[in-house]
Amino acid sequence: MIMKRWLVVAIILIGLFSVSEGRELRIKHGDYNHIYNHTLAKILVEYASAVYMSDLTALFTWTCSRCDDMTTGFEMIELIVDVQNCLQAFVGVAHDLNAVIIAFRGTQEHSIQNWIEDLFWKQLDLNYLGMPEAMVHHGFYSAYHNTTMRPGILSAVQRTKELYGDLRVMVTGHSMGGAMASFCALDLTVNQGLRDVRLMTFGQPRVGNAVFASYFNKHVSNAFRVTNGHDMVPHLPPYYSYFPQKTYHHFAREVWLHNAGLGSPVLVTEKICDGTGEDPNCSRSVSGNSILDHLTYYDVELQAEMWGSCRIVTSDKLMQYQMDGAGNIMMSKNPTAATLSAQADPGISSM
Ligand SMILES: *[C@@H]1O[C@H](CO)[C@@H](O)[C@H](O)[C@H]1NC(C)=O
Ligand SMILES: *[C@@H]1O[C@H](CO)[C@@H](O)[C@H](O)[C@H]1NC(C)=O
Ligand SMILES: *[C@@H]1O[C@H](CO)[C@@H](O)[C@H](O)[C@H]1NC(C)=O
């Protein structure tokens, strides 16, 4: 009897939410209509996975073991490696999507367990520039704004524009890379004035408070945060529903991947969550107790081949790359056009 009822629930859920590839769900929210595109999510998660690869030559030439399948034909424009801070990102063009893709790697320098435990204690310790009440975490903010990431990405986006004109921009990343992707998408919209910037992140932590979240959604309205089952990271740093204005607060819109019940093969459904960013019926309805759920999204592995190192592999013969005084690396399609000068960040002077 109980089994039967579960079956009915499962069937209803399957009916409600898209389970099959290529099915689209339309979301109505306020004055815009954004579509969560399952196919696009599966493509972008492959970019978010590839950016973890440590063989820079294979990554740059898009011949790495994760550089195939739905990302075949990607044209790399710039690969940026911040050696000091162990950060990695790339910018390139997906001609099939008619889009610039920007992907950020997640953390790699410590064990993932330690990194996740540290997330509990992150403070809202920085005012986001131009928004007195908007608070964010200084560390996440700085990883994008106060490293080689930002100047490298902005110059590559500019170069892409010169090569191909105005393409839409899709920013992606997993875990900490999702946090950086969020700051990047906001920066491109607010400070660079780009019109069509879309964000899709996987298993990202919270990055700011409720005021920041509403500011974010106003500017980057085409934003999806995909969460998976019991993945711990989207639960952190903690949100307390008793103090929704004081604590960290996710921006919208979450898409929660979860098992709709019983048996095998396990059916994964995608739940499109509400416009608050903190839908109690999405990932918040379960406890965030899984690291495993953090490392695989849509059956795609989202971690480095090995942890605990900031390993870089290059074959000098094949590739030309530039290195700045601090040992940071920029590989460019057109090396002479790459700028390595540490540009002053307008966001830094105010703090
Ligand atoms: C979803 O994304 C795929 C890949 O970009 C695209 O071919 C398809 O047309 C999209 N569907 C909708 C409804 O936009
Ligand atoms: C969550 O789901 C319950 C039923 O399971 C429903 O009554 C409630 O309205 C939902 N809450 C939100 C915010 O959607
Ligand atoms: C930016 O980074 C430098 C060194 O990495 C550090 O000394 C400085 O305090 C940082 N500035 C901000 C505003 O975080």
- Closest ligand 1 atom to Cα of 24: 13
Q: What is the pLDDT of residue 221?
A: 93
Does residue 35's CB lie within 6 angstroms of at least one atom of ligand 1?
A: yes
95 lies in some domain? yes
pLDDT value of position 32: 42
Mapped to the 3 state alphabet, what secondary structure does the chain carry? CHHHHHHHHHHHHHHHCCCCCCCEEEEEECCEEEEEEHHHHHHHHHHHHHCCCCEHHHHHCCCCCCCCHHHCCCEEEEEEEECCCCEEEEEEEECCCCEEEEEECCCCCCCHHHHHHHHCCCCCCEECCCCCCCEECHHHHHHHHCCCHHHHHHHHHHHHHHHHCCCEEEEEEECHHHHHHHHHHHHHHHCCCCCCEEEEEECCCCCEEHHHHHHHHHHCCCEEEEEECCECHHHCCCCCCCCCCCCECCCCCEEEEEECCCCCCCCEEEEECCCCCCCCCCHHHCCCCECHHHHEECCEECCCCCCCCCCCECCCCCCCCEECCCCCEEEECCHHHCCCCCCCCCCCCCC
Judge whether residue 161 has pLDDT over 60.
yes
Residue 26 CA: which ligand is closest? 1
Q: Is residue 22 part of a domain?
A: no
274 Cα–ligand 2 center, Å: 10
Looking at the domain assignment, is residue 186 inside a domain? yes
- The answer to whether residue 346 is domain-embedded is no
* pLDDT for 349 beyond 50: no
Q: pLDDT (tens digit, 9 = 90+) per residue, 119-156?
A: 988 999 999 988 889 999 999 999 999 999 999 999 99
- Residue 340 is assigned to a structural domain of this protein: no
Mutate to test the pocket of ligand 2, among 16, 281, 282 (most ligand atoms within 8 A of CB): 281
Domains contained in the chain, number: 1
Closest ligand 2 atom number to CA of residue 279: 13
Centre of ligand 1 from the C-alpha of residue 39, in Å: 7
Distance 139 CA to ligand 3 centre (A): 10
98: CATH? 3.40.50.1820
Domain assignment present for residue 345? The answer is: no
By most ligand atoms within 8 Å of CB, the mutation choice from 36, 40, 44, 224 for ligand 1 is: 40
Residue 152 domain boundaries: 2-17+27-334
Whether pLDDT at 302 is above 50: yes
Each residue of 69-80: pLDDT tens digit?
A: 999 999 999 999
CB 348 less than 6 A from any atom of ligand 3:
yes
Give yes or no for residue 96 CB within 6 A of ligand 1: no
315 in any annotated domain: yes
Ligand 3 center from residue 233 Cα (angstroms): 25
Q: Is residue 142 part of a domain?
A: yes
Q: What is the pLDDT of residues 189-245, one digit of tens each?
A: 999 999 999 999 999 999 999 999 999 999 999 999 999 999 999 999 999 988 888
